Amino acid sequence: MLSDKPKTVILPSTEELACSDDIPVDNEDQNFLPNILLFLLTSIWANRTDWYFGVDMAVYHTTGVNPRVPVVPDGFLSLGVERKKGGKSRRSYAVWEENEVVPILALEMVSHTPGDEYDEKLEIYRKLGVLYYIIYNPEYWQRDRHQPFEIYKLVDENYQQQIGEPLWMPEVGLGIGRHQGVIGGIKQEFLSWYNEQGDRYLMAEEKAEKLAQHLRSLGIDPDNLPPD
């Protein structure tokens, strides 16, 4: 007699799984720009330990063809998880090891080699249940017949493109958008976080420069401050 009892599926641990897909990035910005978002979060949410932002890290899930086949966003954010899992750095992110917490945001940066960001990956994130899917395509948007910066939100199990920049994401508690600025002495466009009023969160070097300008306005030379 056949049993109606469902079979127990034993899922692999992150110790057994690859940490990425081993595909080299197409250009340095694919790693650099998501890390800017990460470094900003360590300042914005310095007193919070209930979030994790992964860069070029494998996300394993059970909504695809095989739980051993990950999706690897250029960046992703999860809320309600440990900043350091068990006090240690993650090798990869397995949804079943994170109390079924799915990333609330995923970022894909389009490179010289098209990576199916607008179709295959969009469908993966839709099925996974990622609330916000961001596609950043500053160089090849005309080739791909899309806009340079697109944000999709999951509404009734389907993605709807959002209008407005920076876009405030109430479920995240942050806005996101583009900014032209100087990083390490080089002027370029990068992504940044914003508050609900649309003000951009500054990087550490920008804060230091703003403070220096304020001191100069008061007649104080920031390069010749008296010792403590």
Does position 82 have pLDDT exceeding 50, yes or no?
yes
H/E segment holding residue 134 = strand 132-136
125 close to 106: Cβ distance less than 8 angstroms: yes
**207, 189 in Cβ contact below 8 A?**
no
Percent of the chain with pLDDT over 90: 68
Is it true that the peptide bond before 166 is cis, omega within 30 degrees of 0?
Answer: yes
CA distance between the termini of the chain? 83
Name the residue among 9, 8, 11 with its Cα closest to residue 96: 11
Read off the pTM: 0.85
Which residues have a Cβ under 8 Å from the Cβ of 98 and sit 6 or more positions away? 78, 81, 85
Instruction: Find the helix or strand (DSSP H, E) in which 27 lies.
Output: none
Q: What backbone torsions phi and psi does residue 124 show, to the nearest 5 degrees? A: -60, -50
Percent of the chain with pLDDT over 70: 86
Most confident among 20-24, 65-69, 105-109, 141-145 (mean pLDDT)? 105-109
- Of the pLDDT bands very low, low, confident and very high (cuts 50, 70, 90), residue 106 is very high
Average pLDDT over residues 21-37: 75
Per-residue model confidence (pLDDT) at position 184: 77
What average pLDDT does this structure show over 29-45? 93
Residue that has been written with the tokens 């897909």 in this structure:
21
Q: Which pLDDT band holds residue 27 (cuts at 50, 70, 90)?
A: low
Indicate if the alpha-carbon torsion angle 76, 131, 22, 9 is positive or negative.
Answer: positive
Tell me the CATH class for 29-198.
Answer: alpha beta
What long-range pairs does 157-165 form, CB within 8 A, spacing at least 24? 157/126, 158/126, 159/122, 159/125, 159/126, 159/133
pLDDT at 6 over 60: no
Tell me which of 125 and 211 has the higher pLDDT.
125
Q: Above 60 in pLDDT, residue 207?
A: yes
pLDDT at 34 over 80: yes
Q: Could you tell me which of 15, 27, 116, 6 has the C-alpha nearest to residue 72?
A: 116
pLDDT band at residue 29 under the 50/70/90 scheme? confident
Measuring CA to CA, which residue among 103, 11, 93, 108 is closest to residue 60?
93
How does residue 1 score in pLDDT terms, banded at 50, 70 and 90?
very low
Domain residue ranges in the chain:
29-198
Q: What does each C-alpha distance from 191 to 107, 115, 179, 200, 205 come to in angstroms?
A: 11, 20, 6, 10, 16
Give me the chain's average pLDDT, please.
88
